[in-house]
Amino acid sequence: MATLLTEPTPRHEPDRFGRPDAGWRLRLYIIIFEADTRAGRAFDLTLLAFILISVTVVMLDSVEAISTRWGDLLTVLEWFFTVIFSIEYILRLLCVRKPKRYARSLFGVIDLLAILPTYLALFIPGLHSLIDVRVLRMLRIFRILKLGEYVREFSELGNAILATRRKIAVFLSFVLIVVVVMGTLMYVVEGPENGFTSVPVSVYWAISTLTTVGFGDITPKTDLGRLIASMMMLMGWGTLAVPTGIVSAEFAVRRINPEITTRTCHECLSEGHPSLAKFCADCGAKLPPYQLDAGEN
């Protein structure tokens, strides 16, 4: 609870983009970037609603039966939301002291991507549906609820995946080597006449098989090809167990030893001592008594 007192602005992002000191820019900044005032909260909720409706509009517009009948209304709505989001984007740029930093931040780029397609679609009609990437703005929902009940879960998920990122990188490299080898093999065995038209296509098939997706748009027809595919599937099964195992283990360890990275030796400041340890495993100093502080609720 002490951190709450020393960190005065925990509900919004840390002051990365330069909080203005006073005036209309400060008032705007508080509404747009902070979420712990009434106005800020109302702004965020309105924004989320607008994003949701706007994404729905673009999705419906792509359904032919609907677009032929309600096309005009949907186009008006889409432009309405695009203009709203454009104004919001400009206001964001105006009210921060480091607008470049905001423009290059993750959410700055997403905010831009959310309005660009409508304008680009005037010139290149095909890009029209890309407006849907504005669903990415929904990621804000996690930021808004930052101190709410979801943040602990979210950061826990993030930490567990972060902690296993190197294991998963090693694993993915291995999988990529395997799918290239198997794809090439199947291309040679089955050949273009059975749907394996090129090595990249065969690699695509190998990935879809190894991940157990198995579309079935390309399938082995020869006996040898089916034998290789059978072995691949059994292999893929075992392989599937590896990342699952890595992440599961990470979660289990975090649930069992929540303090796995929190218990610190007062002498050498090394971290991560098990809850039952009495002495520091790095310098031999006596550890402070273990206190269980993070119960489930």
In the window 229-288, what residues touch a copy of itself (CB under 8 A)?
229-230, 233-234, 236-238, 240-257, 260-261, 271, 273-274, 276-286
Residue 144 binds to a copy of itself (criterion: CB under 8 A): no
User: Does 119 engage in binding with a copy of itself (CB under 8 A)?
Assistant: no
Bridge partners of residue 279, in order along the sequence = 286
Helix/strand/coil for 279: strand
Restricting to residues 160-219, name those near a copy of itself by CB under 8 A.
160-161, 163, 166-173, 175, 177, 180-181, 183-185, 187-188, 191-192, 197-201, 203-204, 207-209, 211-217, 219
- Residue from 135, 146, 147, 290 touching a copy of itself (CB under 8 A): that is 135
Contact 140, 48 (CB under 8 A): yes
CB of 145 to a copy of itself, least distance (A): 10
For residue 218, what is the DSSP state?
S
At its nearest, how many Å lie between a copy of itself and the CB of residue 13? 19
Give the rounded distance of the alpha carbon of 130 from its chain centre: 18
Distance CA 121, CA 62 (A): 14
Check: CB of residue 246 under 8 Å from CB of residue 165: no
Using the contact rule CB under 8 A, the part of the chain among 11-19, 39-47, 94-102, 132-140 near a copy of itself is: 132-140
Nearer to a copy of itself, 12 or 239 (CB): 239
To a copy of itself, the closest distance from the beta carbon of 178 in angstroms equals 9
Contacts of 16 (CB under 8 A, 6+ apart): 98, 101, 105
Q: Which of 49, 87, 90, 129 binds a copy of itself (CB under 8 A)?
A: 129
- Closest to a copy of itself by CB, 91 or 135: 135
CB 225 within 8 A of CB 186: yes
Q: Which is nearer to a copy of itself, 34 or 259 (CB)?
A: 259
| 112 token code pair | 């831009």
CB closer to a copy of itself out of 9 and 248: 248
Output 24 or 150, the one with its CB closest to a copy of itself.
Answer: 150
Q: Segment 40-99, which members bind a copy of itself (CB under 8 A)?
A: 55, 58-59, 62-64
Distance CA 68, CA 79 (A): 18
CB 35 within 8 A of CB 11: yes
Instruction: Determine, following the binding rule CB under 8 A, whether residue 149 of this chain makes contact with a copy of itself.
Output: yes
Q: Kindly state whether residue 226 participates in binding a copy of itself, applying the rule CB under 8 A.
A: yes
Q: What is the nearest approach in angstroms of a copy of itself to the Cβ of residue 39?
A: 25
Residue 109 makes contact with a copy of itself by CB under 8 A: no
Distance (Å, rounded) from C-alpha 151 to C-alpha 132?
A: 26
C-alpha closest to that of 201 among 190, 212, 98 = 190
Q: Measure Cα distances from 78 to 55, 91, 121, 180 in Å.
A: 9, 20, 12, 43
